[in-house]
């Protein structure tokens, strides 16, 4: 088999088995470089020795392509700072390859891998590698000592400026690739198909692992229509003489609490209100009891279908969730669902309520009861 055909097969196989890696690998430029031992990637091109790649199995070639794909997403040039270039390359390689091994890809010979660095960030691996080397040579200075970093000592100012412009262009390209990779990764998380352990390479707190709006919508719909009656029967199969209960929609009662404590800034409060507006737009025939609370209840407003969301957010004190649950118990009957918009930095009730609780927040953390929906 021609090497080009083998590479095409490996790309197709990677795309089917590991869609995230395969999609990113399809954008890589593959370049032959017989002056290297195996392969290397700078995030834009994947250089390889023909003899090396030709000896690999399809599974091992998938690993090489996935490695290049991850270098493409990490924007590691921006993260390098004053670190030694070749040592930083080794550290990122080890971190990436550890993650690929965790995902079940076949590690080829020549790939950088150390089991002792399992689960570590590239920055952590770099620090340990540097310590290992310095222990052997205490006189060695190991910042910006890469051969590529000090390859030339240009005296011409204009040439240095040109080099700086090229570097900025390369960093910008890396940043754009990283943003594209994060966008793709978000979609993979929403489908539940993201690679294992990939989160340590990105700041994933900016989006949820599920489509949280769809989760909230689903939670609401489970409680909106839950009454059935034979009079009148369902019309779907009535023409065939089959009588089934019809689903009757009643006014949906929902309790929403907003945490107005000092730890929740104005931007987050506005985001909470924006999402409550969204909930009101997708829910028909509702009655919403809206509570504003920090460590005490500041306001209680009832909204019906078609009402505009107008509420004054008063607070700024500490966070105590207990007043909301006490208020619900004292004033509302047959509550099925409470949505609590909060940063989760507060005092929880000792016992869970009998109704469902969804904590809508921007971060994951341990909670004594209920479910977290991450914005």
pTM of the entire predicted model: 0.45
Helices (H), the chain: 3-17, 19-25, 50-55, 58-74, 76-80, 85-102, 122-136, 157-190, 212-224, 266-282, 322-331
pLDDT in tens, 138-166: 444 444 444 343 333 334 444 444 455 65
pLDDT in tens, 316-368: 889 999 999 999 999 998 788 899 999 999 999 999 999 889 998 888 889 99
pLDDT in tens, 272-317: 888 788 777 766 677 889 999 999 999 999 998 878 888 888 888 8
For 8, other C-beta atoms within 10 Å of its C-beta total 11
Residue 65 CB contacts under 8 Å (≥ 6 apart), including other chains: 7, 10, 11, 14, 21, 22, 25, 28, 46
For 10, other C-beta atoms within 10 Å of its C-beta total 24
8 A C-beta contact, residue 34 and residue 51: yes
d(CA 260, CA 206): 21
> In order of start, what are the domains of the chain with their CATH numbers?
3-206 (no CATH), 214-374 (3.40.50.410)
| Token code pair at residue 107 | 């590690």
């Amino acid at each position: 088999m021609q090497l080009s055909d083998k590479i095409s097969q490996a790309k197709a196989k990677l795309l089917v088995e590991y869609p995230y890696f395969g999609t990113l690998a399809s954008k890589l430029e593959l370049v032959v470089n017989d002056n290297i031992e195996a392969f290397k990637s700078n995030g834009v091109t994947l250089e390889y020795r023909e003899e090396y790649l030709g000896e690999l199995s399809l599974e091992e070639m998938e690993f090489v392509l996935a490695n290049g794909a991850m270098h493409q997403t990490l924007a590691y040039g921006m993260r390098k700072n004053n670190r030694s270039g070749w040592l930083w390359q080794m550290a990122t390689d080890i971190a990436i390859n550890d993650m690929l091994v965790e995902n079940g890809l076949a590690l080829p010979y020549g790939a950088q891998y150390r089991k002792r660095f399992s689960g570590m960030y590239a920055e952590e691996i770099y620090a340990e590698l540097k310590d290992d080397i310095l222990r052997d040579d205490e006189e060695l200075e190991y910042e910006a000592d890469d051969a590529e970093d000090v390859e030339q000592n240009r005296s011409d100012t204009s040439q240095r400026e040109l080099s700086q412009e090229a570097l900025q262009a390369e960093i910008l390209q890396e940043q754009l690739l990283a943003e594209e990779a994060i966008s793709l990764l978000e979609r993979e998380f929403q489908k539940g198909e993201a690679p294992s352990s990939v989160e340590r390479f990105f700041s994933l707190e900016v989006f949820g692992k599920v489509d949280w709006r769809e989760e909230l919508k689903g939670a609401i719909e489970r409680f909106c229509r839950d009454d059935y009656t034979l009079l009148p029967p369902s019309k779907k199969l009535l023409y065939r003489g089959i009588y089934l209960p019809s689903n009757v929609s009643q006014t949906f009662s929902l309790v929403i609490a907003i945490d107005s404590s000092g730890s929740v800034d104005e931007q987050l409060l506005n985001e909470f209100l924006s999402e409550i507006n969204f909930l009101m737009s997708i829910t028909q025939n509702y009655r919403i009891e809206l509570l504003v609370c920090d460590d005490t209840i500041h306001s209680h407003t009832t909204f019906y279908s078609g009402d505009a969301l107008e509420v004054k957010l008063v607070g700024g004190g500490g966070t105590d969730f207990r007043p909301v649950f006490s208020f619900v118990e004292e004033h509302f009957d047959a509550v099925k669902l409470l949505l609590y918009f909060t940063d989760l930095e507060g005092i929880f009730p000792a016992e869970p309520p009998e109704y469902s609780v969804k904590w809508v927040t921007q971060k994951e953390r341990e909670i004594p009861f209920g479910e977290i929906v991450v914005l």
